[in-house]
Chains A and B, each alone.
Chain A
Amino acid sequence: MRLRWLTALLLACGALTVFFPFFWMAVTSLKTAPEIQRVPLRIAPDQWMNLGNYREVFHREPFGRYLFNSGLIASVSAVSSLIVSSLAGYGFAKFRFPARDAFFFAIIGILMVPFQSVVVPLYLWVNRLGFLDTYLGILAPDLVSVFGVFLMRQAIEVLPNDYIDAARIDGCSEFRIFYRVILPMVKPAMATLLIIKFMWTWNEFFWPLVVVNSPSMRVVTIGLMSFTNIYFIEYNLLTAAAVISILPILVVFLTLQKWVVRGVVMSGLKG
């Protein structure tokens, strides 16, 4: 019994430690520049309702634009990933055709290809096609993820074939079966995929860093970097910007946590 309380206590301490950087970020974002340089340090801000840093963030950088860019790119990538992945998942799960398994394992094998190994040719292609610094360029490698195909195939595979056969006998076209019979039955998997993919793309950094040049095309992760430099960082502004960049994801994450966890457990495969 005592051991159980001890476990609970240690877990709580650990959880609070893990949570602390978030708390510290939020608190710092409410402080003024002189406040964060105060020695000795005071934890609480002088004014809890000081939102000056947030105003300054939007004033100094087109942060609204960054949020819009990230939101747009993450949404498009989530939706396109959902469409292509569920089509492919259905094809792999319920049809027989030559070399089906070879195709499937080739796609799963892509999980072993680190993105950084293909980034140079990808960059050269995007450059050649004139997509540098465009939404299409940023989206190019994010439109479909292997994880999505895998997730949808797993979800569709366990559906009974009887529904499909019944629909075929009724003269339903193959695409209509997919759209009207299959999709409504795998809504949970679709939700999981949408959320996870949105989060991934929102937090993406490496590829946007490569393709984005102009300030108007920056995404939030890149935008955060504009509050840093080697010599002097205004952490009150930086933390405010960080809060803004994390908040949308945090809201999505906390309200839909169940689906995210499902996806994480499934994504064991994702590298």
Chain B
Amino acid sequence: MRHWVRVAFPKTYMDRQRRAGFLFILPAVTYFSLVFIVPLIQSVIGSFHRTVPGGTSQFVGIRLYEKVLTDSTFWTAVRNTIHLLLMSVPTTVVLALVVAIGLHRLVSLRWRNVWAAMYFLPFSASLVAAALIWQWIYDPVYGFLNYGLSLVRIPPQKWLQSLAQVRPSIALVSVWVRLGFDTMIFLAALQSIPGEYYEAADIDGASGWQRLRYLTLPLLNPQIIMVCILELIFNFKIFDQVYATTQGGPASASQTVIMLLYDTAFKYFRMGDASVMAVFVFVTLLTVTLLQWRIFRKPIEY
């Protein structure tokens, strides 16, 4: 407390400097409190209240949690989301690793930059645009994908309109969008590995596979973990792609948690239920992140 009084009413030169430092961070602290901290607390509070039409809200304990967490539509959405991310996260990370290692092996820097730029390009498109372009490629009648398949005599598929194929199809869009981002992170990490390590490995007579298995991958471990976590979070929050294309259909086969949250809050205006889902998403992602921290204590540096 005494510290704060001195910051507010500085007596010495050092106090004035402390005050200056505090004033520099004040706008950011105020903004983040108003836009994130306060609403987060309100989300938690809101999840224990039912809002009656007319504006008054009433404390209902964990009733809304019971309601949402026993609702089968909610668990369908959770299952779909997990299914989506189980398909897209490993695919993205493995492909990104392969591409990054490949790019790193290219001798010509110019070509490396050209190819890297192409892999990275989808990152610049909005998820909505990406999903809509893919929806056109997936079009069952006039789409390019079915045309390509017809060339090798495979009958046309329904892709986004099929119960079985809708989730893999959407997962592929996520892979396409995120591949370049992950590749860039891996490539930057690869470039920071000192060349001497590889020279030493060569002197020891390590084969190409051994170099990859015992040198490159262990050194990339922090980045691999980090990218996995980032992808997990990104794919757990999947919304734009689904909203723009299937709207959760067909028959809720692509309904995801955030889609459900959006509909609950802004289509049916059940803010209490939506708050429960908001808390669920927060707690889930927090757990994932903290687990990562427990396993890998030291901060990731570049």
Contacts and interface: CB of A to CB of B under 8 A. Distances in A.
B233 A121 contact: no
Chain A CB count within 10 A is highest, among B35, B42, B180, for B35
A92 B24 CA distance: 8
B126 interface: yes
Given A91-B24, A257-B117, A203 B278 contact: no
Nearest to B125: A246
Tell which of A117, A224, A271 has the most Cβ of chain B within 10 Å. Answer: A117
Contacts of A125: 39
B39 A122 contact: yes
Interface in A53-86: 84-85
A246 B271 contact: no
Contacts of B126: 202-205, 220-221, 224, 245-246, 249
A118 B136 contact: no
B89 interface: no
Contacts of B144: 24, 41
Given A97-B22, A110-B36, A113-B36, A18 B244 contact: no
Nearest to A205: B240
Nearest to B114: A15
B278 A238 contact: no
A96 B21 contact: yes
A107 B18 contact: no
Interface in A205-253: 205-206, 209-210, 220-221, 224-225, 228, 230, 233, 235, 238-239, 242, 245-246, 249-250, 253
Interface stretch (A44-52, A184-192, A260-268): A260-268
Interface in B135-158: 135-137, 139, 141-142, 144, 147, 150
Interface string B113-133: 011011111111111111011
Interface string A1-26: 00010011011101110110110110
B38 A121 contact: yes
Contacts of B20: 95, 174-175
A245 B132 CA distance: 12
Interface string B185-209: 1001000000000000000000000
B46 A107 contact: no
A118 B184 contact: no
A8 B106 contact: yes
Nearest to B249: A230
Contacts of B137: 21, 24
B24 A88 contact: yes
B176 A21 contact: yes
A8 to B, nearest CB: 6
Is chain A's binding surface mostly helix, strand, loop or mixed? helix
Nearest to A95: B21
A268 B230 contact: yes
A88 B3 CA distance: 20
B302 A266 contact: yes
A143 B202 CA distance: 51
Given A205-B240, A249-B124, A88 B28 contact: yes
Given A95-B21, A116-B258, A146-B32, A203 B125 contact: yes
Contacts of A144: 27-28, 31-32
B128 A221 contact: yes
B9 interface: no
Given A239-B136, A242-B133, A121 B25 contact: no
Interface in B18-67: 18-25, 27-29, 31-32, 35-40, 42-43, 46
A103 interface: yes
A180 interface: no
A162 to B, nearest CB: 16
A92 B262 CA distance: 36
A144 B30 CA distance: 11
Nearest to A38: B142
Contacts of A238: 132, 136
Contacts of A250: 121, 124-125
7 contacts: A4-B107, A15-B115, A98-B4, A100-B25, A203-B127, A205-B243, A245-B126
Given A18-B118, A268-B230, 14 more contacts: A8-B106, A15-B115, A91-B22, A91-B23, A91-B25, A112-B289, A116-B239, A122-B39, A204-B126, A206-B258, A242-B129, A246-B124, A246-B129, A265-B184
Interface of B: 3-4, 7, 17-25, 27-29, 31-32, 35-40, 42-43, 46, 99, 102-103, 105-107, 111, 114-115, 117-130, 132-137, 139, 141-142, 144, 147, 150, 176, 179-181, 184-185, 188, 223, 226, 230, 233-234, 237, 239-240, 243-244, 247, 258, 261-262, 265-266, 271, 274-275, 278-279, 281-282, 285-286, 289, 300, 302
Interface of A: 4, 7-8, 10-12, 14-16, 18-19, 21-22, 24-25, 28, 36-37, 39-41, 84-85, 87-88, 90-92, 94-98, 100, 103, 106-107, 110, 112-114, 116-125, 140-141, 143-144, 146, 149, 174-175, 178, 199, 202-206, 209-210, 220-221, 224-225, 228, 230, 233, 235, 238-239, 242, 245-246, 249-250, 253-254, 257, 260-261, 264-266, 268, 270-271
